[in-house]
């Protein structure tokens, strides 16, 4: 259910969030917990503004959920630290996880550490140094070098 946001377009972001929540409701009705994933592109020149709009629209939609309907959110790490604090503490949100979004490992970890209550879901950056037919020892070393800073950043 990933949608990519490129601009700080209020109506477009409102529509994306409404669509994601509509699909989330179908998943909730099937007895599962959906992951709502409106990704703001790290390459957007309007990233910070788009994130402010996104946060507002998420809160609006979350406030309309039934009290027993729960979701997870998967969001790009914001430009403004702790921008999503209200979203994280919303009673319908089980967990907020962060996309690395294409940031290099150390930049993603730095931004993650700035955001209380968000944990990593860094699939892109996690697999950057892994490849097919890699010797097990190199695979293990590359994975450890990636996992440790992600773990440390998630603990803050």
- pLDDT tens by residue, 107-148: 999 999 999 999 998 888 888 888 889 999 999 999 898 888
31-55: string of b/e by CB count within 10 Å (b at 16+)?
eeebbbbbbbbbebeebebbbbbbb
Q: Which of 37, 39, 51, 57 is catalytic?
A: 37
Q: Is residue 45 part of a domain?
A: yes
Q: Which of 74, 107, 110, 114 is catalytic?
A: 74
Q: Is 47 a catalytic residue?
A: no
Tokens of 14: 């409102």
Give the number of domains in the chain.
Answer: 1
CATH number at residue 42: 3.20.20.70
Full domain range(s) for residue 87: 2-103+114-124
Q: Is residue 108 part of a domain?
A: no
Q: Is residue 134 part of a domain?
A: no
> For the whole model, what pTM was predicted?
0.90
Q: Is residue 73 part of a domain?
A: yes
Q: Is 74 a catalytic residue?
A: yes
pLDDT reported for residue 156: 65
């Amino acid at each position: 259910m990933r949608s990519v946001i490129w601009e700080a377009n209020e109506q477009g972001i409102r529509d994306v969030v409404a669509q994601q929540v509509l699909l989330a409701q179908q998943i909730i009705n099937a007895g599962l917990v959906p992951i709502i994933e409106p990704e703001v592109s790290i390459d957007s020149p309007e990233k910070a503004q788009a994130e402010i709009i996104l946060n507002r629209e998420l809160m609006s939609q979350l406030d309309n959920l039934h009290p027993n309907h729960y979701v997870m959110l998967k969001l790009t790490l914001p430009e403004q630290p702790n921008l999503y604090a209200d979203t994280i503490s919303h009673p319908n949100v089980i967990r907020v996880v962060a996309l690395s979004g294409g940031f290099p490992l150390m930049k993603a970890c730095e931004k993650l550490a700035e955001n209380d209550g968000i944990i990593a879901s860094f699939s892109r950056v996690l697999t950057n140094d892994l490849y097919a037919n890699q010797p097990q020892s190199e695979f293990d070393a590359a994975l450890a070098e990636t996992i440790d800073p992600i773990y440390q950043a998630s603990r803050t």
